[in-house]
Structure formats: C-alpha cells, structure tokens
Amino acid sequence: MKRIRLGFANLIIEFTDRYLALKRIEYWANRGTGFPKVVYGPEGCGKTAWLRQSVELLGERGFDVIYLNPIEEEFAIEIGVQSLRDRLINLVREATSRLSWGGVAWSVIDVVREAISLGRGKIAIIIDDAFQAIGLDRAAIYVKGLLGILEHPPRPYERIVTIVATSEGVSRREIGRHEWADLLAMWNMGRDGFRQLYEQVPGDKPPFEEVWKLTGGNPRILERLYENNWNGDAVVRELIDKKGVRAFIASLGPNDRELLIRALEDPDVLMGREGIPLMNRLIELNLALEIPEWRDDNLWIDAPPPERDLELGIGKYVAWQSPLHREAVKRALGMT
C-alpha cells in the first residue's frame, strides 16, 4: 500500500503506524461493514489521517470511494468510471452551491444510491467529522440514512463499507442509543507508532519521553508543540482560550470544583452520581471522553489505551483527551 503524505504544521510527513486500524479496513474491505461504523476519539488523535490512508487502501482494493469532510470542506470521489465520477462530482457541486456542507453530507446518500443503480458493486462511504456539520441532534437520523443504503439498495451490490468519524464525544450517546450503527473508539497513537512520528519532526526537540508525557500520543498536540517551538505553555494557553476553559471553571460551584480537582488525578471519579453532570460538560467541551470500559479489540479501532494510565489522564471509564487538555483545566483552576 502506498503511504500517503500529510500536512503537519509547515511540513509534509508520511502516514505512520496505525497498523491495526488499517488491518480493520482490510477486514471490512473483504466482507463489507454491515452496519455503518461510527468511530469517535479525541480531537487530533488521527482519525482524518487514518481515513485518508484508508481511501488509498480501499481504492487499491477496487472500491469506489466517496470521502467527505464537511468541516474541512473536502471531498474525494474515486470512481472507476469517468462519466459517473463527473456526474457524482456535479451532484456534490450542486449541493455545495445550493446548501451548506451539511447538505452535501446528506446528498452523499443519493450519490451512493445512484452509483449502485448504475451497477457499481464495491463502494466505500467515508464521512469524516460529519456530525458537526449535520447537527448533533440529527446525527442518528443521518446514520439511519446511511444504513438505509445497505438495507434497501436500489439494486444488489457486492460490498459496501460505511465509516463515519466524529470528535464529538456527545454523539457517542446519540448514536449509541439506536441500533443503527456500531460504535468504535479510537485512541491517541501508541508509544511505538508515535515515536516514529516524533522522529519525522525535524530540528532540535525535547527528548521523546517528555513529548510523550505532554501529548499522550496525540499527533495534533505534537503538531501544536512543534508549531510553538516546543513551548508547552503556549499550547496550554491556546487550549484554554479556544475551549473557553476559563468561563467553564468560573461557572462551577464549590462541589463541582472540588470534584474537578480530584478528576485531574483520576478521571474515573467523574463516573458516579455526583460526577456525571460535570463529566457531561467536559465531554461537551471536548476536554474529556467517556471510553469503553473494556479494552477488547472489537470496541476499538487500532490499539486501545492501557486499562488505566493516570499519568496520561486515562481512567477505565473516562479519559482526558490528552495530558495537555488536562493541564489546561489545571491551569485555569489556578493550580500551577
């Protein structure tokens, strides 16, 4: 498989690692997905990178691939038949001029049905960061629309692979309460893979151990650190500012504040009667995530995080998106 090249700050780097996640794509390529697969994980953990590499892989396996990222306003339509490709691209173009990118996501469903009607048998539909554009409240209905393609195709097909990715931890519940999709979690990169990525970053840099402790294997945090000349404080300030952590902290009553301080040490304290409302707010702000309590392969794309790693902020049930996300909260609490 050809490894794709990805933008990384001002660099171009090669797609790295994610061996199991690509194996998973191969598995689906061989048998189709059945239910749409909804993948969620921390912001910047590498969902988009993995999906872009998957477009390449599925293309090599003879799939027509439709990839859409409404947030980054990107799409790729790789279809073996030129006329059909043009037709589909026009459909998407029409949708962009008429509607929002959320509308384009909806039009993909028609595009795929059209492709099946025209006799295309192996199709991959990859919708990246879909729910932000569609609206979280409509996420489940959208997934049901995708399921509808599989269940009521206009014509028999050979194999369809449907993957939807989201960084919105909130959508996990919205999707999970219906039987229309399989939910899978993706975590930050494992140590070995992340080291390979770290090695691709040129110039003077802090030792790997230090970078690992700041990022917990999150490539976006690595990118921000590099962009800020390895100034961790600058990246923490960025996070506090962007996510409105200050206002969030200011809004807390004394009990929640106390609980939040304990959650810095162990995020699992949030998984209790008192902690749930606070946990929900941390999830909404994309600072923490509720994760599957089991580290079984079938619940995860790629390698799961360790059962618990409190140094990195990973609990059994709840995890900080990265150590620097936790640090942002700690700073805003005035604790450093």
Least distance from C-beta 78 to Mg ion, angstroms? Answer: 19
Tell me which residues in 163-222 interact with ligand ADP (CB under 6 A): 167, 197, 219-220
Which part of the chain contacts ligand ADP (CB under 6 A), choosing from 3-11, 95-103, 136-144, 299-307?
3-11
Least distance from C-beta 127 to ligand ADP, angstroms? Answer: 12
Interstrand relation of 37-40 and 74-78 (parallel, antiparallel or unpaired)? unpaired
Identify which of residues 8 and 157 has a Cβ nearer to ligand ADP in the complex: 8
Distances (CA, A) of 167 to 17, 71, 136, 255: 20, 11, 11, 28
Can you tell me which residue has the tokens 């409105």? 244
Residue 5 phi/psi, 5° resolution? Answer: -105, 145
Q: Contacting ligand ADP (CB under 6 A), which of 29, 49, 79, 260?
A: 49
Pairwise CA distance, residues 171 & 291, whole Å = 13
Size, binding site for Mg ion by CB under 5 A: 2
Q: Pick from 40, 64, 43, 39: which is nearest to 239 by CA? A: 43
Paired tokens of 42: 């921390």
Identify which of residues 48 and 188 has a Cβ nearer to Mg ion in the complex: 48
Q: Is 48 in the site for Mg ion (CB under 5 A)?
A: yes
Can you tell me which residue has the tokens 């900080």? 320
Which part of the chain contacts Mg ion (CB under 5 A), choosing from 28-36, 46-54, 60-68, 296-304?
46-54
Tell me which residues in 270-309 interact with Mg ion (CB under 5 A): none
Least distance from C-beta 13 to ligand ADP, angstroms? Answer: 5
Paired tokens of 130: 């879909």
Helix (H) or strand (E) holding 141: helix 139-151
Q: Give the distance between the most distant pair of CA atoms in the chain.
A: 64
Q: Which does 197 bind (CB under 5 to 8 A by kind): ligand ADP, Mg ion, none?
A: ligand ADP
Binding site for Mg ion (CB under 5 A): 47-48
Binding site for ligand ADP (CB under 6 A): 6-8, 13, 15-18, 43-49, 167, 197, 219-220, 223
